[in-house]
Amino acid sequence: MLKLEQARIAVVGLGYVGLPLAVELGKRYDTLGFDINAGRIAELRQGHDSTLEVSDEELRQAPRLSYTDDSADLARANVYIATVPTPIDDAKRPDLRPLEGASRTIGRALKPGDVAIFESTVYPGATEEVCVPIMEAESGLKFNQDFFVGYSPERINPGDKEHRVTNILKVTSGSTPEAAEFVDALYRSVITAGTHKASSIRVAEAAKVIENTQRDVNIALVNELALIFNRLGIDTEEVLKAAGTKWNFLPFRPGLVGGHCIGVDPYYLTHKAQQIGYHPSMILAGRRVNDGMGAFVAGQVIKLMTRKRIHVADANILIMGLAFKENCPDLRNTRVVDVVAEFQGYHPRVDVYDPWVDPNEALEEYGIEVIDAPEPGSYDAIILAVAHSQFVEMGADRIRALGKPDAVLFDVKYVLPPDTVDGRL
Ligand SMILES: NC(=O)c1ccc[n+]([C@@H]2O[C@H](COP(=O)([O-])OP(=O)(O)OC[C@H]3O[C@@H](n4cnc5c(N)ncnc54)[C@H](O)[C@@H]3O)[C@@H](O)[C@H]2O)c1
């Protein structure tokens, strides 16, 4: 087995997960950051991370980290860590193409004794059933004889400056006891919060995917409660505050469940379950409820407008926030687009304003033209969809000033005092 001191690491995929990890490893080990996106490599070489996960100063603090978009450079490494995306396709099935691509790239670089570690969120079994055969085929080497595999899921949270890669306890695993020990020791050397060595790769894979499935199902329950309380004319937040005084009531809030994790990972688990003949009901029920919340928000706003005798057709509607969560530019799988899509059938003019996101990305990904600044006094309805700090600081008065005198103000995120808004989730 490799010794830690011999490790020359390649991180494959320098996104939200790969870059912060590469920076930490690059303080201690010779580390090569590889990405197929040449633009990403160019910006990192210039010392800037457009995901805003790592500051320019922090990038400078990793003297042993270098970047490449040439996969031939990976031949220099002996430890590979794959941190590529694991999205779903339109039919909500796992899209394993990036993972397969990374496995091919790593497979071509593998030499006897090397270790490949996967961090991407997958279903239990994916590393050994999908990645290993590809690496064997590309390298001509034998799994667990010539090369070894590990799996260590990432738990970071985009935009979260408190829970960073080094202070979140990390689950590790390996394809043999020695590989597991090597993987664990590698992470222990950079993760100050420590590690938990799982008994197998499949256990570690399953642990990650259920963390997000558990959150998804819990949020779905609270979303369903919001749908019920709305019909009963009861304010959901007030109910949650009252119930939350019990020591074991879990503090989940209703909302749009977007992002590439919570709204995506459960489908990895349900896909695998269906493959082996188990048809999950509860997990998919949660997904259905959560995926319906955007349409519900738009429906509520349309109701409130109609009550005020505001014609929805030709009305000006402002949606504040497009990112999938507050204070980050991440647009992946944002469910704010469901609110926009639901309005489309009613022919209002919908402006989307989000100072955090890249307007080109919003246009490319969703066909949404993000506006530079909302026109004060011009909106018939305003939806506060994402709790960016700028919006929170504006407060109800300045947000209301963007609307016409009788405009509807709807607060998806419980940012504003309840008596200052017309409706909320
Ligand atoms: N973002 C998070 O907070 C987070 C948290 C926990 C787990 N995860 C999981 O980690 C994985 C990575 O997520 P992310 O958010 O960092 O994704 P990302 O989209 O931010 O980054 C992925 C990077 O991989 C690159 N890439 C794609 N295919 C490649 C290939 N074949 N070879 C090399 N590079 C390739 C892309 O160009 C991109 O820069 C996913 O499985 C995700 O579910 C993400």
For residue 207, the 8-state DSSP code is H
Q: State the distance between the two ends of the chain, measured CA to CA, in whole angstroms.
A: 55
Q: Domain check: are 202 and 299 in the same one?
A: no
What mean pLDDT comes out for the span 403-424?
A: 96
Q: Is 101 in the pocket of ligand 1 (CB under 6 A)?
A: yes
Instruction: Provide the pLDDT for residue 181.
Output: 98
| Token pair for 39 | 């633009």
Q: Is 255 in the pocket of ligand 1 (CB under 6 A)?
A: no
Distance 35 CA to ligand 1 centre (A): 10
* CATH code, domain carrying 150: 3.40.50.720
What mean pLDDT comes out for the span 383-391?
A: 97
Q: Domain check: are 340 and 199 in the same one?
A: no
Q: Is 220 in the pocket of ligand 1 (CB under 6 A)?
A: no
Is residue 374 one of the residues assigned to a domain? Answer: yes
Distance 19 CA to ligand 1 centre (A): 9
286, 215, 277, 220: which is closest to 254 by C-alpha? Answer: 220
Distance 259 CA to ligand 1 centre (A): 12
Q: Domain check: are 202 and 345 in the same one?
A: no
Please count the other Cβ atoms lying within 10 Å of the Cβ belonging to residue 387: 20
Residue nearest to atom 37 of ligand 1 (CA): 37
| Token pair for 90 | 């339109």
Instruction: Provide the pLDDT for residue 96.
Output: 98
pLDDT by residue (tens digit) across 215-271?
A: 999 999 999 999 999 999 999 999 999 999 999 999 999 999 998 899 999 999 999
pLDDT by residue (tens digit) across 92-146?
A: 999 999 999 999 999 999 999 999 999 999 999 999 999 999 999 999 999 999 9
85, 77, 115: which is closest to 15 by C-alpha? Answer: 85
Residue 161 has pLDDT above 90, yes or no: no
- Contact between 53 and 23 under an 8 Å Cβ cutoff? The reply is no
**Residue with the larger pLDDT of the pair 15 and 160:** 15
Of ligand 1's listed atoms, the one at least distance from the Cα of 99 is: 31
Last residue of a domain, one of 208, 235, 250: 208
Q: Is 156 in the pocket of ligand 1 (CB under 6 A)?
A: yes
Is residue 79 one of the residues assigned to a domain? Answer: yes
Residue 157 has pLDDT above 90, yes or no: no
Q: Is 422 in the pocket of ligand 1 (CB under 6 A)?
A: no
Q: Domain check: are 191 and 311 in the same one?
A: no
Strand runs labelled E in 65-194: 65-68, 79-82, 115-118, 148-151, 170-172
* DSSP string covering 17-30: THHHHHHHHTTTSE
Identify the weakest region by mean pLDDT among 121-135, 154-168, 193-207, 228-242: 154-168
- Tell which one of 49, 260, 267 to mutate to probe ligand 1, the residue whose CB is within 8 A of the most ligand atoms: 260
Contacts of 66 (CB under 8 A, 6+ apart): 31, 32, 33
Q: Is 205 in the pocket of ligand 1 (CB under 6 A)?
A: no
What's the structural domain count of the chain? 2
Q: Domain check: are 39 and 158 in the same one?
A: yes
Is residue 62 one of the residues assigned to a domain? Answer: yes
Is residue 179 one of the residues assigned to a domain? Answer: yes
Q: Domain check: are 322 and 176 in the same one?
A: no
Residue nearest to atom 18 of ligand 1 (CA): 15
Is residue 367 one of the residues assigned to a domain? Answer: yes
| Token pair for 36 | 């197929």
Of ligand 1's listed atoms, the one at least distance from the Cα of 101 is: 31
Residue 158 has pLDDT above 90, yes or no: no
- Tell which one of 16, 67, 208, 209 to mutate to probe ligand 1, the residue whose CB is within 8 A of the most ligand atoms: 16
- State the Cα–Cα distance between residues 423 and 365, nearest whole angstrom: 30
Percent of the chain predicted with pLDDT > 70: 100
403-411 sheet: strands from edge to edge = 370-371, 349-353, 316-320, 379-384, 403-411, 423-424
The one-letter amino acid at 357? V
- State the Cα–Cα distance between residues 133 and 84, nearest whole angstrom: 18
Residue 294 has pLDDT above 90, yes or no: yes
Listed as own residue / partner, the contacts of 269-278 with beta carbons closer than 8 Å and 24 or more positions apart are 269/123, 269/124, 269/206, 269/209, 269/210, 269/213, 271/93, 271/94, 271/123, 272/123, 272/124, 272/125, 272/126
- Helix, strand, coil tally for the chain in percent (to 5): 40, 15, 40
Instruction: Provide the pLDDT for residue 321.
Output: 98
Is residue 217 one of the residues assigned to a domain? Answer: no
Distance 84 CA to ligand 1 centre (A): 4
Last residue of a domain, one of 208, 225, 252: 208
Is residue 301 one of the residues assigned to a domain? Answer: yes
Residues labelled catalytic: 261
Residue nearest to atom 32 of ligand 1 (CA): 102
- State the Cα–Cα distance between residues 251 and 230, nearest whole angstrom: 19
| Token pair for 71 | 């996969």
Q: Is 17 in the pocket of ligand 1 (CB under 6 A)?
A: yes
Is residue 417 one of the residues assigned to a domain? Answer: yes
- Contact between 41 and 65 under an 8 Å Cβ cutoff? The reply is no
- Contact between 80 and 116 under an 8 Å Cβ cutoff? The reply is yes
Q: Is 267 in the pocket of ligand 1 (CB under 6 A)?
A: no
Q: Domain check: are 90 and 183 in the same one?
A: yes
Q: Is 35 in the pocket of ligand 1 (CB under 6 A)?
A: yes
Residue nearest to atom 28 of ligand 1 (CA): 98
Q: Is 36 in the pocket of ligand 1 (CB under 6 A)?
A: yes
- Tell which one of 83, 325, 327 to mutate to probe ligand 1, the residue whose CB is within 8 A of the most ligand atoms: 83
Exposure on the CB side of residue 249, measured as CA atoms within 13 A:
12
pLDDT by residue (tens digit) across 54-66?
A: 999 999 999 999 9
- State the Cα–Cα distance between residues 230 and 55, nearest whole angstrom: 42
Residue nearest to atom 36 of ligand 1 (CA): 13
Q: Residue 355: which domain range?
A: 293-425
**Residue with the larger pLDDT of the pair 158 and 277:** 277
Last residue of a domain, one of 208, 242, 275: 208
* DSSP string covering 259-301: TTTTTTHHHHHHHHHHHTT---SHHHHHHHHHHTHHHHHHHHH
- Contact between 35 and 19 under an 8 Å Cβ cutoff? The reply is no
